[in-house]
Amino acid sequence: MRVAVTGADGFVGRHLCALLGSRGDAVLALAGPPERAGEKVVDVLDEGAIARALAPFAPDAIVHLAGVSSVARSHEAPLETFRVNALGAVNLCAVVRAVAPKARVLLVGSGEMYGATPPGERANESWPLVPTSPYAASKVAAEVAAFQFHRAYGLHVISARPFNHLGRGQAPTFSVPSFARQLCAMKGGGVLSVGNLEPVRDFSHVEDVVGAYRLLLEHGVAGEAYNVASGVGRTVRSVVEEMIAASEVDARIEVDPARLRPVELPCLVGDSSKLRALGWSPKRSVRDALEEAIAEARETSS
């Protein structure tokens, strides 16, 4: 399969490109600046640039990962978030329609699109989308627009709605790598600065997430959305406590008001039955991902 990946230089993009390469797929890695070895710089807001990259490659499939990925950042820059996430998706679909109309497009959204789930319940794909952040709202807008391309023009668009995912290579502005760096900087003990630890989230290993994306490229149904989730809810506090135990550091947890979000979902857990029916199941644990984040932080600090 010939697969183009936007956002190939990001956390998930690097894992996905590695998986695709290991499967024998031909990969066109489309990255935002600065350019990395083996990657082509493409601005998703530039239709001409996207067309010039995709047309000669003649992809069988495109995975659209490029965009603003931070919920916290989206509150600070809502206009930028909508421009990149929503308009970028529209640009991509318009170009694919023109230069590769038979290609499969996997649009990557987010579990955040659902808003909060009641404690003890799991959101499935038929739940209403009730976003509470500019990030989540921009992902809803992108999906609505992309599915319009499917309904009106027959573009083969599939939507993935991944919940939280962890592992090596995540930016230090995200919670888990931030905690890992703090822990690895401590010499025996210290204060771990955190935000709100009470929210319940659904965590998966990033390698399981990209495995789901590859599966959806082959077996996902056009016009359908699929949750990528473990189905297990756990508090952020439990994740922090597990990281402290894994790092063997005597850390004291302290809430930093600067780390609190303007809006926080108390609970968000997904139902991945629809994806599992295609043959997907998690192979890696959250503990694996946390240990990898700690190991990476140690390598960075050494």
Question: What pLDDT tens digit does each residue of the chain (302 aa) get?
Answer: 999 999 999 999 999 999 999 999 999 999 865 544 455 557 899 999 999 999 999 999 999 999 999 999 999 999 999 999 999 999 999 999 999 999 999 999 999 999 999 999 999 999 999 999 999 999 999 999 999 999 999 999 999 999 999 999 999 989 999 999 999 999 778 999 999 999 999 999 999 999 999 999 999 999 999 999 999 999 999 999 999 999 989 999 999 999 998 889 999 999 999 999 999 999 999 999 999 999 999 998 76
One domain for residues 260 and 192:
yes
One domain for residues 109 and 182:
no
Q: Which domain holds residue 143?
A: 2-166+203-232+271-276
One domain for residues 294 and 182:
yes
Neighbours of 244 (CB within 10 A): 18
One domain for residues 228 and 296:
no
